[in-house]
Amino acid sequence: MSLYGKVALVTGGAQGIGRAVVQSLLLSSAKVAVVDLNKTCGEECKTQLDTEFGEGHCTFIQCDVSHGDALRDAFQSTVDQFGRLDIVINNAGINNEKNWEKTIQVNLTSVIKGTYLALEHMSKEYGKEGGTIINVSSMAAFMHSPHQPVYTATKHGVIGFTRAMADASSQGDYGVRINVLCPAFVDTPLLHSVEQEDNMGKFVKFKDDFKLRMDKFGVLPPSLIAEGMMRLIMDTSLNGAVMKITCSKGIHFHSYEPMSA
Ligand SMILES: NC(=O)c1ccc[n+]([C@@H]2O[C@H](COP(=O)([O-])OP(=O)(O)OC[C@H]3O[C@@H](n4cnc5c(N)ncnc54)[C@H](O)[C@@H]3O)[C@@H](O)[C@H]2O)c1
Ligand SMILES: CCCCC[C@H](O)/C=C/C=C\C=C\C=C\[C@@H](O)[C@@H](O)CCCC(=O)O
């Protein structure tokens, strides 16, 4: 299915998982706003994408997603440049147990803010045409470890928030599908931060155990996460879905017990 005429915004889109998703969106003919803190990486990314896809298909917007006004401006700038918004990927994330308050701001608060801003631009509640939102969590929300207590907490939060918002969307007739994606270990720069004391603080002493887990469970290519993301975007039956991507089971979904008193 083509995404011709659709406009996407990807936070943390300049490298890693976000970069792979941007590539897939452009291959499907969507227009894409790459929203990222890293100016050098973002500008390099745009130059490469302009060469591959031609100018005018993507834009780079430098923005720290944890600054609420800056994130609001990034959404507005996307709509000003491309005329509409249909797909929002709240992907930007960090791994910092030392500055754990920042980890909560980037990994959870900004995902909530990004979801609310996406709804302002896409929900029928606001007179818009509908769309789809994907929030990025992690398998860390299902298999906790001692290395990343606050990172793990934020990723639990992303799942709970997304599932509740998906219900709000269906019951409130927002016309917006809201799903969550949980990758296991993925080969990106973030993965290497677990070896650094600056990121892990006192938990850095568990790094060997973390590496053993990576050896045991394997490391995924970012392209597979992009494939899962495209499935969530294209499959219009999905709302409130929790997609997991692991080496052992590939792309699959978590199933929950029905709610009971
Ligand atoms: N790599 C993994 O093993 C893995 C596994 C599960 C989930 N995830 C999640 O996937 C998402 C992407 O991770 P990744 O591995 O691609 O990381 P990455 O570090 O390779 O890329 C993250 C991107 O986000 C940007 N970013 C960071 N803080 C930002 C901020 N405040 N404002 C705007 N942009 C910011 C960075 O500049 C970078 O371009 C994160 O939410 C991460 O928690 C990663
Ligand atoms: C520095 C950030 C790194 C992020 C790490 C990442 O977010 C955490 C991943 C944690 C665990 C991954 C486990 C993967 C396990 C699978 O291979 C499989 O064995 C489990 C399958 C369970 C299921 O799918 O239901």
What pLDDT, in 10s, does the model give residues 163-218?
999 999 999 999 999 999 999 999 999 998 889 999 999 999 999 999 999 999 99
**Band of the pLDDT at 145, cuts 50, 70, 90?**
confident
Mean pLDDT (the chain, rounded): 97
User: Is 151 among the catalytic positions?
Assistant: yes
At residue 229's C-alpha, the angle toward residues 60 and 174, to 5°, is 85
The rounded distance, in Å, linking the Cα atoms of 34 and 78 is 9
Q: Are strands 58-62 and 131-136 parallel, antiparallel or unpaired?
A: unpaired
pLDDT of 129 reads 98
> Locate tokens 């440049």: which residue?
81
**Complex ipTM, two decimals?**
0.94
pLDDT at 212: 93
257 phi and psi angles, rounded to 5 deg: -65, 145
Whether the model clears a pTM of 0.90, i.e. scores above it, the answer is yes
Q: Considering the chain, what percentage of its residues have pLDDT values greater than 90?
A: 94
* Closest-CA residue to 71 (of 109, 107, 129, 113): 113
Cα angle 85, 90, 93; round to 5: 150
Q: Label residue 1 by pLDDT band (50, 70, 90).
A: confident
Secondary structure class of 8 (helix, strand, coil): strand
CB-defined site of ligand 1, < 6 Å: 11-12, 14-18, 36-38, 41, 63-66, 91-94, 106, 136, 138, 183, 185-186, 188-191
d(C-alpha 101, C-alpha 162), whole Å:
21
> What is the set of domains in the chain, with CATH numbers?
7-243 (3.40.50.720)
Evaluate: CB of 204 within 6 angstroms of ligand 2.
Answer: no
Over the Cα atoms of the chain, what is R_g? 18
